[in-house]
Amino acid sequence: MGRHVRGALVEYAQSASPLTLVFEFNPETLSRSRSVEITLADTPATRGGYDFQSPAETPRVSQGVSVEPEAFDVEILLDATDRMGQGDPVASASGVEPELDTLRSMVEPKVQGPDGMQTLASLGMGGQRAFQRDESASVLLFLWGSHVLPVFLKGIDVQETAHLPSLVPYRATVTLSLQVIEGNNPFYREEKIRQAASAALHSSTAPGHFPGGLS
């Protein structure tokens, strides 16, 4: 069986060595979700929405409707077995603990230093609670195939499945919960351009016969 294409999470920060996690990624383990919130309580709409007769009425029909940001749940396998077999000294001593510590650092609050560098708030520069006013979450780039998406890491779930005699894990299954940052940034703009081009390619080749006179 061939090796899977690699994906990555990279911290978007002013650093000579930004936090980076590279992993082999099986697309079958990724789930994507986007929800639409519909609030019609204070409108005259009945039966789930306003009446309409033409596409020109879409802005009125969609009042009270908001689209939530896209979210991903990604399951990845971190496994140091091969590297341990090849005599890698870091893997032999630390297993996948460096990768897990990278993920923990990605999800922890950061404080911005005077030179723009981010530092973990838990090192003593932050307040008593997570994400105080002078602290912030990391902006990450999720690299997956042709996608480079800006995301927040909302959560990590780690299942350690094999350990060295020192109890250091050398194999773990990790579920990452990511939310896309759908603002005005170069990465999301590029993704929207890619998405529109792909959708146009599909529309140009799809059958054009629909009921009700649509074509």
Percent of the chain with pLDDT over 90: 46
Q: Looking at this protein, which amino acid is placed at residue 157?
A: D
Confidence of residue 176 (pLDDT cuts 50, 70, 90): very high
Q: What is the mean pLDDT of the chain?
A: 83
Residue 199 predicted with pLDDT over 70 = yes
Kindly list the domain boundaries of the chain, sorted by start residue.
6-43+64-205
Report pLDDT for 49. 75
Question: Of the ranges 18-22, 44-48, 169-173, which one carries the lowest mean pLDDT score?
Answer: 44-48
Confidence of residue 83 (pLDDT cuts 50, 70, 90): very high
Residue 1 predicted with pLDDT over 50 = no
Distance between CA 201 and CA 170 in Å, rounded? Answer: 44
Mean pLDDT of 62-71: 86
Q: By the 8 A CB rule, do 107 and 156 touch?
A: yes
Confidence of residue 210 (pLDDT cuts 50, 70, 90): low
Distance between CA 17 and CA 79 in Å, rounded? Answer: 23
Distance between CA 190 and CA 96 in Å, rounded? Answer: 33
